[in-house]
Amino acid sequence: MPDIILHHYPQSPVAEKVRIVLGMKNVPWRSVLIPRLPPKPDLMPLTGGYRRTPVLQVGADIYCDSQCIIRELERRCPQPTLFPNGAAGLPWALSRWTDGALFTLVVGVVMSAQADELPEDFANDRGRLYFGPNFDWQAQKKVLPHTLAQIRAQFGWIDERLSGNRDFILGTEPGLPDALCYHVVWFLRGRYLGGPALLAQFSNLVAWEERVAAIGHGHPEDLDSKEALAIARCATPQSTEQRDDDDPQGLAPGQMVAVAPDVDGGDPAVEGRIVSVSLDHVAISRQDAEVGDIVVHFPRVGYRVASLA
């Protein structure tokens, strides 16, 4: 099996979600550390402009967004499954809450509580990314107690789910819902001074958090970013053509498109020619001067695919 390469940085909560999934799979992987802010010169040749964290590389196939990354990890390493007890489907819906509304509330607390101490370029970048061009950390700081009340009630849901000696969210086996909920808890605990006290109110959640942390990250081995580029250059994309005659946008292999997150975060679009498309993914091929032929994979949910033809 070719190497699984994760481009990430230690402080990234979304990367922590994927690292925990790699722990659940208990697989070897290569770890490339990337900068927390653009420019990301050794990542851009691979993604064609996608700048978020994490990114998965397998040879010359690049997977953007944790949704797409986790789907690919489940496909490549099906056992143990992330969907024990026939739980497929619903965890993806849960991810729209954990990665969406809940994550945004936690980013608001973590960032606005430190608004006066954070480096300006970092605060401005994350403000734009998560709250759009009119972000205002000082205004968010004023409503911190309200935001904490929102988060506390929602963490209460997780705690309630884990009552009655349920080890993991789906029962006795860990699965995708654990990684989804855990990364937000990990973020609040590690990056907000009041996080540990808030979490201490939830005994089921805290005991579960320790069980998920104990799963670990699998078996990472450091890889230099230049070596990752060399691996891509020497590899050939493995993606094969796939069409979907029911695609609502009429997307089809061969078409030139631009793909970007469907949020007002100022993310650049990635341009390329569709190789494969389905209800939950689109993969586009591009040529890069540094790494040659590359196929970049995106989820459909949360992404806008615009036709350039």
Contact map string, positions 123 to 142, toward ligand GSH, x by CB under 6 A: ------x-------------
51 touches ligand GSH (CB under 6 A):
yes
Pick from 57, 80, 81, 60: nearest CA to 68:
57
Assign 156 to helix, strand or coil. helix
285 touches ligand GSH (CB under 6 A):
no
At closest approach, how far in Å is the CB of 52 from ligand GSH?
3
Quote the distance between the C-alpha of residue 199 and its chain's center. 23
How many angstroms separate the CA atoms of 103 and 130, rounded?
10
How many angstroms separate the CA atoms of 228 and 31, rounded?
10
Among 31, 53, 98, 147, the residue binding ligand GSH under the rule CB under 6 A is: 53
At closest approach, how far in Å is the CB of 68 from ligand GSH?
8
Among 57, 67, 112, 147, the residue binding ligand GSH under the rule CB under 6 A is: 67
Assign 146 to helix, strand or coil. helix
Tokens of residue 271, six digits: 């341009």
Whether the CB-CB separation of 30 and 220 falls below 8 Å is answered with: yes
Whether the CB-CB separation of 44 and 282 falls below 8 Å is answered with: no
Whether the CB-CB separation of 105 and 150 falls below 8 Å is answered with: yes
Residue-by-residue DSSP string for 222-271: E--HHHHHHHHHH-------B--TT-TT---TT-EEEEEESSSS-PPPEE
52 touches ligand GSH (CB under 6 A):
yes
Among 14, 229, 282, 296, the residue binding ligand GSH under the rule CB under 6 A is: 14
Segment interacting with ligand GSH, rule: CB under 6 A, options 24-32, 48-56, 141-149, 281-289 = 48-56
At closest approach, how far in Å is the CB of 65 from ligand GSH?
4
At closest approach, how far in Å is the CB of 286 from ligand GSH?
20
Nearer to ligand GSH, 10 or 254 (CB): 10
13 touches ligand GSH (CB under 6 A):
yes
At closest approach, how far in Å is the CB of 12 from ligand GSH?
4
* Footprint of ligand GSH (CB under 6 A): 12-14, 36, 51-53, 65-67, 99, 129
